[in-house]
Amino acid sequence: MPATPTAAVTTLTGRALLLDMDGTLVDSGPAVERVWRAWALQYGLDGDQVLEVVHGRQGFASMAILLPDRPMEQNHEENARMLAQETADTEGVVAIGGAAAFLASLGGLPHALVTSADDALARARMGAAGLALPPVAVTAEHVTLSKPDPEGFLLGAKLLGIDPADCLVFEDSEAGVAAGLAAGMQVIGVGPATTGYGATVSVDSLHQVTVTEADGTLTLTITA
């Protein structure tokens, strides 16, 4: 009989987990696309190109890339309006496969949400997806810079009282992976595209990740 293939297993260790939201825990793609395609149409921009830029970034940072000659003050003002639109539009927002069980497994373990959404949007999307918001959350109000800058992840580590080098990041976007690596952290990429972004290891689903704890050390067992 032919040999049965064995699953490849990767083990990572750390002391805390920092979790992105959109695309990592929550599938908000349809809502994001509705809001940003309408914005692109308003400015005569290609919707597909706009969506490539906005993923993982705060809105004002995306606008600065897409409309480079526009004053940043205007970007911040418009971003505030768009965040309100996104908060009101939760149609089709659901949990990423395995996210509920994964979050439940982290009860009592050091972890934080680090998202480009503001507090209202994070609560709206996590609630729509039926997911509990982690007790520690870094949202847009807490930082001055957007991913790919590492500010958010470094703040998450500080709030948890954990050295950045001992934090493990879960991310799905190119900007997010870059932010985690820039913070000096190992990055678990969610989705096959993250291999190309330089993630430490990539998974297709959170179902592939198991977290255990012993003496303050978290061990992630990742099955391919």
Domain residue limits, the chain: 9-28+92-223, 29-88
Rounded mean pLDDT, 175-203: 97
Q: 202: which 2 tokens?
A: 């990539």
66 closest CA partner among 84, 35, 44: 44
CATH code of the domain made up of 9-28+92-223: 3.40.50.1000
Q: How far apart are the first and last CA of the chain?
A: 23
**Percent of the chain as helix, strand, coil, to the nearest 5:** 45, 20, 35
Kindly list the catalytic residues: 20, 22
Q: Which residue has the tokens 């099955």?
A: 223
Q: 201: which 2 tokens?
A: 């290891």
Find the helix packing angle between 47-54 and 59-66, rounded to 10°: 130
Which pLDDT score, from 0 to 100, does residue 181 have? 98
Tell me the pLDDT band of 6, cut-offs 50, 70 and 90: low
> Which residues, at least 6 apart from 171, have a Cβ–Cβ distance to it below 8 Å?
20, 24, 56, 177, 179, 180, 187, 188, 189, 190, 194, 199
The length of the chain, given as a count of residues: 224
Which pLDDT score, from 0 to 100, does residue 14 have? 98
The mean of the pLDDT values for the chain is: 95
Question: Is the whole-model pTM more than 0.85?
Answer: yes
- As a whole number of angstroms, the distance between CA 61 and CA 146 comes to 6
pLDDT of 157-183, one tens digit each? 999 999 999 999 999 999 999 999 999
Query: Does position 55 have pLDDT exceeding 80, yes or no?
Result: yes
